[in-house]
């Protein structure tokens, strides 16, 4: 009979070594893999609102005394490329994804075709002077301390709701920040704290009650009443030293909402009548301001009419009170959005 006590312990030792060596090898291999991966990937972001591989953080909205504001934020992406294609807010039906582009010595703001790309394992930053969410036709001014609800729609990740605090824009070192965050070579406007100017008569036209809205951001608007004692004319252009981007805008109804848009062909000034530029209707929109407009300033505006030609006027800056400026001066009580140019009775 052969003894068995020598084979038992030795066989057990072999089994123990067979189990231990693969375990150690696997553990060492796992550590090497983790080191390689962390060196190539974007650092993870733990704070913020998450949707899939995306994390939204640093969101904020500009305060405004008029009907235009902008939202900014950062989107970190730990996965494949995506695109921010849409944004909405209960504050307005007119929300657009905008970019600032340079053309020669000036810059302009425009819609970004296709939305904002969010690179794979990268970051998208919305900031003054670059990509931003433009909110127009606001129902009420936005003040510091408020919180704005925004819904973001991504091409792949889908929809996500965030809450953005309203706060003042950071100082960029030049005392102001325009909506595009970009400088222009146009000379700065001369502003003073003078009294309201007298009406300006120009041929058959008289421009009166002109004023510019005070603003804490980089967008404002000018209003006035233009009376015509002669044949019909049209205001086709406006310019100002304070802005490289001046547009003639109208507000139109679209179902249960309204939106602001450029007025094709300009503002008609009817024969023996008048046209009123006022909040919520025709107005001269001035974007990419070099600095905020404060109460008491006087802004220079050059108006170009199709027949009468050019005339330069001065308009004082004052806050919007919610009342219709120039009311009772040729404006009919039942006048709607489309009835902004009316003949004098």
Q: Express each pLDDT in 103-112 by its tens digit.
A: 655 567 789 9
Whether residue 247 sits in one domain with residue 147:
no
Position 210 pLDDT exceeds 70? yes
> Where is pLDDT greater, at 121 or 23?
121
For residues 130-142, average pLDDT:
90
Would residue 100 count as lying in a domain? Answer: yes
CATH number reported for the structural domain that contains residue 318 in this entry: 2.60.40.1890
End-of-domain residue from the set 143, 165, 187? 165
Would residue 77 count as lying in a domain? Answer: yes
Model pLDDT, residue 280: 84
Whether residue 131 sits in one domain with residue 226:
no
The range of the structural domain enclosing residue 132 comes to: 49-165
Whether residue 213 sits in one domain with residue 155:
no
How far apart CA 78 and CA 121 sit, in angstroms, is 5
Position 97 pLDDT exceeds 90? yes
Whether residue 316 sits in one domain with residue 255:
yes
Would residue 316 count as lying in a domain? Answer: yes
Per-residue confidence band for 229, with pLDDT thresholds at 50, 70 and 90: very high
For residues 241-270, average pLDDT:
86
Would residue 212 count as lying in a domain? Answer: yes
Would residue 295 count as lying in a domain? Answer: yes
Whether residue 318 sits in one domain with residue 208:
yes
Per-residue confidence band for 196, with pLDDT thresholds at 50, 70 and 90: low
Would residue 86 count as lying in a domain? Answer: yes
> Beta-strand (E) ranges in 62-190?
69-77, 82-88, 94-103, 106-111, 116-118, 123-126, 132-136, 147-154, 158-165
Would residue 18 count as lying in a domain? Answer: no
Whether residue 131 sits in one domain with residue 80:
yes
Model pLDDT, residue 257: 64
Model pLDDT, residue 168: 84
Q: What's the number of domains the chain is made of? A: 2
Please name the residue that has the structure tokens 């170009």. 304
Whether residue 208 sits in one domain with residue 152:
no
Type and span of the H or E element at 246? strand 245-254
How far apart CA 26 and CA 187 sit, in angstroms, is 69
Would residue 215 count as lying in a domain? Answer: yes
Whether residue 317 sits in one domain with residue 205:
yes
Whether residue 207 sits in one domain with residue 155:
no
Q: In angstroms, how far apart are the furthest CA atoms of the chain? A: 134
Q: Which of 200, 220, 227 is nearest to 312 (CA)?
A: 200
Worst-scoring range by mean pLDDT, 11-25, 83-97, 331-345? Answer: 331-345
Position 305 pLDDT exceeds 90? yes
Model pLDDT, residue 343: 39
For residues 147-174, average pLDDT:
85
Percent of the chain past pLDDT 90, that is, above it, reads 48
For residues 114-140, average pLDDT:
91
Residues contacting 16, CB < 8 A, separation 6+: none
End-of-domain residue from the set 165, 191, 215? 165
Position 212 pLDDT exceeds 70? yes
């Amino acid at each position: 009979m052969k003894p068995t006590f020598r084979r038992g312990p030795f066989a057990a030792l072999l089994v123990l070594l067979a189990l231990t060596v693969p375990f150690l090898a696997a553990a060492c291999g796992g550590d090497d893999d983790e080191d390689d991966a962390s060196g190539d990937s974007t650092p993870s972001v733990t704070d913020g609102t998450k949707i899939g591989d995306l994390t939204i953080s640093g969101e904020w909205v500009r305060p405004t005394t008029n009907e235009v504001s902008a939202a900014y934020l950062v989107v970190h992406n730990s996965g494949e490329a995506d695109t921010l294609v849409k944004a909405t807010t209960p504050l307005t039906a007119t929300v657009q994804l905008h970019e600032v582009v340079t053309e020669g010595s000036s810059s302009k703001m425009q819609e970004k075709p296709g939305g904002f790309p969010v690179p794979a394992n990268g970051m998208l930053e919305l900031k003054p002077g670059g990509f931003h969410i433009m909110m127009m036709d606001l129902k009420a001014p936005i003040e510091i301390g408020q919180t704005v609800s925004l819904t973001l729609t991504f091409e792949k990740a889908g929809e996500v709701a965030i809450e953005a605090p309203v706060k003042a824009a950071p100082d960029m070192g030049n005392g102001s920040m325009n909506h595009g965050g970009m400088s222009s070579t146009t000379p700065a406007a001369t502003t003073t704290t003078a009294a309201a100017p007298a009406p300006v008569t120009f041929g058959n036209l008289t421009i009166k009650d002109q004023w510019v809205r005070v603003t804490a951001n980089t967008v404002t608007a000018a209003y006035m009443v233009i009376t015509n004692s002669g044949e019909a004319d049209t205001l086709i252009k406006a310019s100002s030293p304070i802005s490289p981007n001046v547009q003639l805008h109208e507000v139109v109804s679209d179902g249960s909402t309204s939106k602001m848009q450029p007025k094709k062909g300009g503002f008609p000034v009817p024969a023996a009548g008048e046209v009123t530029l006022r909040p919520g209707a025709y107005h001269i929109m001035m974007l990419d301001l070099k600095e905020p407009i404060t109460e008491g300033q006087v802004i220079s505006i050059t108006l170009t009419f199709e027949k009468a030609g050019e005339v330069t006027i001065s308009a004082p800056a004052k806050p919007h009170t919610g009342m219709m400026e120039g009311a009772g001066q040729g404006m009919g009580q039942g006048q709607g959005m489309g009835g902004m140019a009316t003949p004098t009775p």
